[in-house]
Amino acid sequence: MSLPRESAVSGEIATSAWSSQQGAAALAASSPAEKRRAFDWRILLGFLLPIAIALLWEAGVRTGLVQGRLVPPPSRIFAALWALAETGELWTHVWVTLWRIASGFALGAVAGIVFGALSGASETIRRLLDPTLQALRAIPSIAWVPLFILWLGIFEASKVALIAVGVFFPVYLGIAGAILSVDRKLVEVGHVFRLSRFQLARRILLPAVLPEAVIALRSGLGLGFMFVVAAEFMGASEGLGYLLVDGQQMGKPDQILAAIIAFALLGKIADSLLVLLTKPLVRWQDTVRERL
Amino acid sequence: MLQLDHLSKTYADGTRALSDINLTVRNGEIVALVGGSGCGKTTLLRLIAGLDQASIGAIRLDGEALSGPHPSVGIVFQEPRLLPWLSVADNIAFGLDHLNGAERKARVKHALEKIGLSEHAERWPRDLSGGQQQRVAIARAFVTNPKVLLLDEPFSALDAFTRASLHEHLLALWEETRPTVVLVTHDVQEAVTLADRAVVMQPKPGRIFDELPLTLSRPRDKTGLPFETSVRRVLTALDHSLNTPQQQPQRERDRQAAALWW
């Protein structure tokens, strides 16, 4: 592989140009190595604002300039998080929430993949299914909550069902769209080699849709996190969403913010995990560095 | 022997892409289809490849009528059309699923050597240059040992040097099994470099205007006078084909004449 060496060389050139012509070098940063280096700096830049605000607020509360009752300073939020973690309470809630997301995501993603594949593969099935599904998609998913509670009860089933509904639509749309946009030219290669319908699906369609399928799954997972909160608002005794409601009712803003931070971390970790797991499937992709 | 009998293609919107094409290609012959744009060269190739269906007429290979993609007919497209998720070696092996592992490996290895990409066997197509990708595409078509190989302007997107080297790779591969080759091109030099016969086509509707035998000995000296003369002959025919759209040239005697010539 001569690629990394080449990019390293062009990266050096770009760095040497940096000192003389800053603007031009920044615009011309094209090689992946150079991009990665520039990206690192910008990540640090992104941390600057929230950290500065947190420090200012902390200082403001400590000096008594502002009152930290409704908007607690960072130290109190982390103390609340720490206390929850120490008693083990946090892990119970995290575990329950993750379990709900995982089962809802699994159900929704599998259904989305199956229906998306059917709808993408067959014109007849698409004409049959798609209008109904699009109509259902137009319903705000939260509107299902009362019905799900009536049908499935107040416990886990209705929550998992709501998350599954939220995950289903982006996955369905993504998969069906990906199949419809597979390059006709590659499909023709399959025809030339006389692949059967099944072989065509396995050897050309499936690999061709994988990158977009991964993106569909990621947006599905994102919605899963959104809907788990909605689901846990509708009467739960455990879960991060319950911590939110509890924090509101008990007037504990530090607990609310602690739960929000936990959500942010979990969401990011879950997304990274999904990217990591699916990376081997799409490592051939030319644009993989840009898209993931 | 590849025979096209009274082949016509009319699209659903009424466009007549091809009208009454009669052509016989001997086994092992290289025929170049040349002509202005829109004269149905590519359509003709897609009919032979079985990717489209003719409206009228028949295509026969050694007496067997072709009505769809056939194992003995291979095609190289204008673009490489490599599968980006397969390594170079796996791309070449794409049409060899019916063979056992050892035979498949041997054929792929041989093809890779022949196109000079052995050290790139495990790389992704995206890591190759355009010319290298097209070489892989040619190898993918050759490894199945087709009786007929169709080439749809496979070198048109490449620079002159790459094109010349690909001509050599192609002829080297062709020497091994001597398949029948039908080459679509708009490059007269290329036609004279590769083909035993140039078939000049005429647009609206696409039909055969003239056939010119190119009997230069191989390997062909591209700087010699005979080469120049042949190029000029084909160019002249091409000129006539574009300037006399109303004229009905020797269409009827095409088949008989071809049969007598060969």
pLDDT in tens, B172-224: 889 888 999 999 998 888 999 999 999 998 888 888 888 888 888 877 888 88
Nearest to A188 among B51, B70, B95 (CB): B51
Amino acid found at B48 = I
* Placement of tokens 């990206």 in the chain: A39
Q: Write out the residues of chain B at the interface with chain A, using a CB-CB cutoff of 8 A.
A: 49-51, 68-71, 74-75, 77, 79, 81, 83-86, 94-95, 123-124, 126-127
* ipTM score of complex: 0.83
- Can you say how many angstroms the Cα of residue A63 is from the centroid of all Cα atoms in its chain? 39
Percent of chain B with pLDDT over 90: 27
pTM: 0.75
Residue A121: the pLDDT is 83
Residue A4 has pLDDT above 60, yes or no: no
Residue A262 has pLDDT above 80, yes or no: yes
Instruction: Please say whether the beta carbons of B100 and B124 come within 8 A.
Output: no
DSSP structural state of residue B220: P
Which has the higher per-residue pLDDT, A28 or A246?
A: A246
pLDDT above 80 (res A68): no
Confidence bin at A286 (pLDDT 50/70/90) = low
- Mean pLDDT of the residues in chain A: 82
Tally the C-alpha atoms within 13 A of residue B137's C-alpha that lie toward its C-beta: 28
Confidence (pLDDT) at B131: 87
Test the A interface: residue of B42, B83, B148 with most A CBs within 10 Å: B83
Do B69 and A193 count as a contact with CB atoms less than 8 A apart? yes
Q: Report the distance separating Cα B236 and Cα A20, nearest Å.
A: 58
pLDDT band for position A1 (50/70/90)?
A: very low
Nearest-CA distance from B141 to chain A in Å? 9
CA–CA distances in Å: residue A149 to residues A224, A231, A242, A243, A246: 18, 10, 17, 21, 21
Bigger pLDDT: A2 or B174?
B174
The whole-angstrom separation of Cα A244 and Cα A225 is 14
**Averaged pLDDT, B121-148:** 90
Mean pLDDT value of segment A244-267: 89
Proportion of chain A in helix, strand, coil states, percent, rounded to 5: 85, 0, 15
Place of tokens 């990409």: B117
pLDDT at B224: 84
Q: What is the pLDDT of residue B255?
A: 53
Residues A214-240 have a mean pLDDT of 89
Say if residues A204 and A182 touch (Cβ distance below 8 Å).
yes
Report the residue from B50, B79, B127 with minimal CB separation from A3. B127
Q: In the A/B pair of chains, how many CB contacts fall below 8 A?
A: 46
Q: Which of A84-93, A190-199, B109-118, B218-227 has the lowest mean pLDDT?
A: B218-227
Of B71, B75, B85, the CB nearest to A207: B85
Q: Is A163 exposed, middle or buried (0-12, 13-18, 19+ CB in 10 A)?
A: buried
Q: Which chain B residue is nearest to residue A283, measuring alpha carbons?
A: B85
Does the pLDDT of residue B41 top 70, yes or no? yes
pLDDT value of residue B254: 57
When mean pLDDT is compared across A17-31, B83-97, B224-238, the lowest value belongs to: A17-31
CA distance B241 to chain A (A): 31
What's the rounded mean pLDDT across residues B144-164?
A: 89
Distance of CA A267 to the CA centre of its chain: 7
pLDDT, average across residues B106-121: 89
Contact A186 B74 (CB under 8 A): no
Locate A208 and state its tokens.
């061709």
Angle at A153 between CA A152 and CA A155, to 5 degrees: 110
Q: What is the mean pLDDT of residues A31-48?
A: 64
For residue A214, the distance in angstroms to the closest alpha carbon of chain B comes to: 15
Residue A30, pLDDT > 50, answer no
Say whether pLDDT at B10 is over 50.
yes
User: What pLDDT score does A281 carry?
Assistant: 82
Answer whether residue A8 shows pLDDT above 90.
no
